[in-house]
Amino acid sequence: METAEIRRRFLDHFEGNGHSVVPSASLISPDPSLLFTVAGMVPFIPYLTGQQTPPWQRATSVQKCIRTGDIEEVGKTTRHGTFFQMNGNFSFGDYFKEGAISYAWDLITKSHDDGGYGFGEDKIWVTVYHDDDEAAQLWKKVAGLPDERIQRRGLLDNYWHTGQPGPGGPCSEIYIDRGAEHGPDGGPVVDEDRFLEIWNLVFMQEQITDVKAKDDFTVVGDLPSKNIDTGMGLERVAYLLQGVDNMYEIDQVRPTLQRAADLSGRRYGADHTDDVRMRVVADHVRSSLMLIGDGVTPSNEGRGYVLRRLLRRSVRAMRLLGVEDTTIPELLPVAKDCMKAAYPELESDFDRISSVAFAEEEAFRRTLVTGTQIFDLAADEAKRAGEFALPGDTAFKLHDTYGFPIDLTLEMAAEQGLKVDEGHFRRLMTEQRERARADAKAKKTGGADTSAYRQLRDAGPTPFTGYEELETESRVRGLLLDGMAVPGASEGETLEVVLDRTPFYAESGGQDSDAGVITGDGFELEVLDVQRPVKGLIVHQVRVLKGEVISGQDVHAKVDREWRVGACQAHSGTHIVHAALRQVLGPQALQSGSYNKPGYLRLDFAWGQALGAQTRSEVEEVANLAVRRDHAVSATYMPLERAREVGALALFGETYDEEVRVVEMGGAWSRELCGGTHVAHSSQVGLITLTGESSVGAGSRRVEAFVGIEGFRHLAKERTLVSQLADLLKVQPDQLPERVERLVAQVRDAEKELAKARSSELGAQAAELAASARDVYGVSFVSHTAPDGTAADELRSLALDVRGRLGAERPVVVAVAGAGESGRPSVVVAVNEPGREWGVKAGALVRVAAQTLGGGGGGKDDVAQGGGTDASKIGDALTQVEHSIGQAVTG
């Protein structure tokens, strides 16, 4: 039965039972808490929760869905697809459990001639929530199911929610027994491959919140009515009714898979790894088609990232299938032809859809080859060095320069038995984001539409009261949501607030914005950010913590005192470091940029080379002496001309008003044009601890420092570290350098000795192993399990040594495996020239072995290496290699 027919029967069945047929909503979820439409019920959430009155009490739909949580399972199982269609019937306070069960039973058991799906009654099993006696009773009453085919399961399996606060409820799932050849008996609780779930009946009756996991959430209370939400996997039913093995072989997917196979010249069904790749391609190309159809375009974030990942994964899978040409122009039209009967807009929109997809493939192809080489090199290096993870900066470079989504790098690494230093990768990403944010902020609002701000500013600039006070009585002049004026906002919303006057410092001159709260009659706003998007107008970005704020209300604006003290220390600290740099290095070391927030400062300055340790200490000393001198800090307004005369430092590229503010410390020692907030006396800065110095482009350096209590904390941490080391090495702290130096020399000597011993031991072992060679189909075969703790590169040299000793007279295969120090198994296979001539390839043998070890690997024909996770399978893996030699030789 074709998928389109299964779909039609579903809708007919429910329409005939009084349900309104509702068209599929977009894949871009109408519910703002979800990225995608993940289930048929998503468009109906407001009706289920009672927020809106449903226009009908019964509805039915076939909804397009995307779920990418199990993307790595795609192709490996029979049933994981990123795009799928969900048939559903919904009751909003109308029928409940009995109705849902009897409609479902009727449709799945009715014969084909009567418009049903014709599943044999004896093949049907169901599960119910563990204490749902009512549902269990109904399955007996309505369907006559015997007790043993009604199984009970807990929250994890039989309670459904979207993963976000909203509606939820216990559910009952319907399974079809595919037969003994697909797994053990005992129902879905034993085997979910043999017993395939096709339909989930959810008894939506509760409002939940605080969702931490599938089985960890809080029930707030009952929904206004008891509802039904069911979801039947259209692809799953299709693969059962079409008599194929999995969802990738149904009529809507198989043609794309076949096209991938044809392009690669490989046969589907001949090799498991290739089959998985073809299924990935078919699944991902279809999902990409549907996503672009609904308006998603590739990007590095959110929905666009998911699309990018799907497209790039399929391009790479085709590459692994040996296809180097562009493939999307070949595959996408096939996927479209499969889907256009159900979604005719795909045809009329295909020009747009295909140009988006083709451009993405082109972009990836430009960097794929170089990126892959960089990856391979880094992976080889990591393995040779005995590392288990690829460095974070490689992953970052692959992402940033070569467009490899991090998940792709993670997968490629896993195929090589490696992890990725994700922590470091994320740190580099954050740094990059901060840079981008700073750039954006430096450009202020850039090209954004500022008309709403300008209208508010027409009532005059916002007076800033924050030099004199931290708390100010004020009034809400306007509220903006996504750049549009709104009359009010309520709890949980994030929006922009403009006040008549404010004590909040807007980010500028390198100083981060103030934190604090704005309160009024029954409401409280947390200030997240403060900016001046147009000249003179101060805009607070806030989250409504409580109540409802309305334009025109009186408010009390209050800057967090602790925060401001820290901000003043950090900003004055920045001026001090600047003056200290110029005192030590000379007046040309002029500041070119800065950033400071409580506890931290960063300053970029014009300088051509790295500062030595000596110079850094000197700068630090001069800065802290200036703190200790307790210079008075003053701020004076004067004409720009006058400020120049007294030598106040202005930042290059900044424009200043005619009347400027000059901040001075110790008279001429530090005199800068500055609008920031400062301490009154330099001693209030407390402490300045330089923590780093680096390059930020040609002719520009950056120093970073901790300030005030953070400076102290940093030093305290280092002191603890020193005393830990001293305890560990049993010396006085000042003897540490000498002791460590001695230790390093000893370790180096010991390593040399060890390497010598190892190599003679391995030499002896290699000779012994070479003598143990056995004949396997005319090939001299050596297989060996090394003792635990042997590193992968030792396995490699052993394999090469043994191969060398066996000469080149006749075919030789050497396979050695062992668990490294981490307990993870590795395997190395080496094949000599005559062996390769006989058709035995090291890469292919390693792949077989690594699969048995639960991992992956590969390499050249002469020597290859792989790894896995399960060391208990080493013996099996070596046996597999032996069998594969037989297969390769006998062909």
Torsion of CA 459, 460, 461, 464, to 10 degrees: -90
**Which residue stretch of 34-42, 344-352, 511-519, 614-622 sits at the interface with ligand SER (rule: CB under 6 A)?**
34-42
**Which residue stretch of 112-120, 228-236, 717-725, 809-817 sits at the interface with ligand SER (rule: CB under 6 A)?**
228-236
For 404: left if phi > 0, alpha if psi spans -120 to 50, otherwise beta; the answer is: beta
DSSP state letter for 513? P
Task: Locate 608 and state its tokens.
Answer: 């051509």
Q: How far is the CB of 88 from ligand SER (least distance, A)?
A: 5
User: For residue 80, how many other CB atoms are within 10 A of its CB?
Assistant: 20
Q: Confirm whether residue 568 is marked as ligand binding.
A: no
Q: Is 865 in the site for ligand SER (CB under 6 A)?
A: no
Q: Is 100 in the site for ligand SER (CB under 6 A)?
A: no
Give the phi and the psi of residue 318 in degrees, each rounded to 5: -65, -40
Q: Which of 231, 371, 392, 566 binds ligand SER (CB under 6 A)?
A: 231
CA distance linking residue 196 with residue 187, whole number of Å: 10
Give the phi and the psi of residue 504 in degrees, each rounded to 5: -80, 125
Complex with ligand SER: residue 117 or 268, whichever CB lies closer? 117
Q: Is 29 in the site for ligand SER (CB under 6 A)?
A: no
User: What is the end-to-end Cα distance of the chain in Å, rounded?
Assistant: 40
Size of the site for ligand SER (CB under 6 A): 10
Complex with ligand SER: residue 174 or 779, whichever CB lies closer? 174
Complex with ligand SER: residue 38 or 368, whichever CB lies closer? 38
Q: How far is the CB of 89 from ligand SER (least distance, A)?
A: 9
Find the binding residues for ligand SER in span 144-173 (CB under 6 A).
Answer: 160
Complex with ligand SER: residue 41 or 412, whichever CB lies closer? 41
Q: How far is the CB of 482 from ligand SER (least distance, A)?
A: 30
Q: Which of 87, 230, 246, 502 binds ligand SER (CB under 6 A)?
A: 230
Q: Is 881 in the site for ligand SER (CB under 6 A)?
A: no
Q: How far is the CB of 19 from ligand SER (least distance, A)?
A: 14
Residue 557: which H helix or E strand, with range?
strand 554-559
Complex with ligand SER: residue 171 or 690, whichever CB lies closer? 171
Complex with ligand SER: residue 170 or 516, whichever CB lies closer? 170
Q: Which of 39, 280, 649, 786 binds ligand SER (CB under 6 A)?
A: 39
Q: How far is the CB of 339 from ligand SER (least distance, A)?
A: 21
How would you classify the pairing of strands 812-819 and 825-831? antiparallel
Give the phi and the psi of residue 613 in degrees, each rounded to 5: -55, -40
Q: How far is the CB of 727 from ligand SER (least distance, A)?
A: 58
Strand pairing partners for 816? 784, 828
- Pair 533, 557: CB distance under 8 Å: no
Complex with ligand SER: residue 228 or 844, whichever CB lies closer? 228
Find the binding residues for ligand SER in span 384-443 (CB under 6 A).
Answer: none
Q: Confirm whether residue 13 is marked as ligand binding.
A: no
**What residue is closest to ligand SER based on CB?**
231
Q: Is 785 in the site for ligand SER (CB under 6 A)?
A: no
Complex with ligand SER: residue 158 or 594, whichever CB lies closer? 158
User: DSSP for 657-699?
Assistant: -SEEEEEEETGGGEEEE--S---SBGGGG--EEEEEEEE-STT
CA distance linking residue 573 with residue 567, whole number of Å: 10
CA distance linking residue 688 with residue 704, whole number of Å: 10
Q: Confirm whether residue 575 is marked as ligand binding.
A: yes
Task: Locate 488 and state its tokens.
Answer: 């009010």
CA distance linking residue 804 with residue 784, whole number of Å: 16
Complex with ligand SER: residue 158 or 780, whichever CB lies closer? 158
Q: How far is the CB of 199 from ligand SER (least distance, A)?
A: 8
CA distance linking residue 91 with residue 57, whole number of Å: 6
Q: How far is the CB of 303 from ligand SER (least distance, A)?
A: 19
Complex with ligand SER: residue 40 or 371, whichever CB lies closer? 40
How would you classify the pairing of strands 591-597 and 554-559? unpaired
Task: Locate 52 and state its tokens.
Answer: 């809106």
Q: How far is the CB of 152 from ligand SER (least distance, A)?
A: 18
Q: How far is the CB of 86 from ligand SER (least distance, A)?
A: 6
Q: Which of 19, 29, 40, 175 binds ligand SER (CB under 6 A)?
A: 40
Q: Is 229 in the site for ligand SER (CB under 6 A)?
A: yes
Nearest CA-CA partner of 842 in 824, 816, 875: 816
Q: How many residues in total does the chain contain?
A: 891
Q: How far is the CB of 251 from ligand SER (least distance, A)?
A: 23
**Which residue stretch of 36-44, 437-445, 511-519, 542-550 sits at the interface with ligand SER (rule: CB under 6 A)?**
36-44
Q: What is the 3-state secondary structure (H, E, C) of 694-751?
A: EECCCCEEEEEEEECHHHHHHHHHHHHHHHHHHHHHCCCHHHHHHHHHHHHHHHHHHH
Q: Which residues contact 704 (CB under 8 A, 6 or more apart)?
A: 600, 601, 602, 603, 690, 691, 692, 693
- Pair 541, 502: CB distance under 8 Å: no
Q: Which of 87, 158, 172, 200 binds ligand SER (CB under 6 A)?
A: 200
Q: Confirm whether residue 714 is marked as ligand binding.
A: no
Complex with ligand SER: residue 158 or 592, whichever CB lies closer? 158
Q: Is 88 in the site for ligand SER (CB under 6 A)?
A: yes
Q: Which of 202, 260, 798, 827 binds ligand SER (CB under 6 A)?
A: 202
**Which residue stretch of 227-235, 524-532, 799-807, 838-846 sits at the interface with ligand SER (rule: CB under 6 A)?**
227-235
Give the phi and the psi of residue 728 in degrees, each rounded to 5: -60, -40
Q: How far is the CB of 188 from ligand SER (least distance, A)?
A: 14
Q: Which residues contact 757 (CB under 8 A, 6 or more apart)?
A: none
Q: Is 686 in the site for ligand SER (CB under 6 A)?
A: no
Q: Is 371 in the site for ligand SER (CB under 6 A)?
A: no
Nearest CA-CA partner of 858 in 515, 383, 419, 326: 383
Q: How far is the CB of 97 from ligand SER (least distance, A)?
A: 14
CA distance linking residue 56 with residue 670, whole number of Å: 73
**Which residue stretch of 33-41, 414-422, 501-509, 549-557 sits at the interface with ligand SER (rule: CB under 6 A)?**
33-41
**Amino acid, single-letter form, for residue 652:** F
Q: Which residues are annotated as a binding site for Zn(2+)?
A: 571, 575, 674, 678
Q: Which residues are annotated as a binding site?
A: 571, 575, 674, 678
The residues that touch ligand SER, with contacts defined as CB under 6 A, are 39-41, 88, 160, 200, 202, 229-231
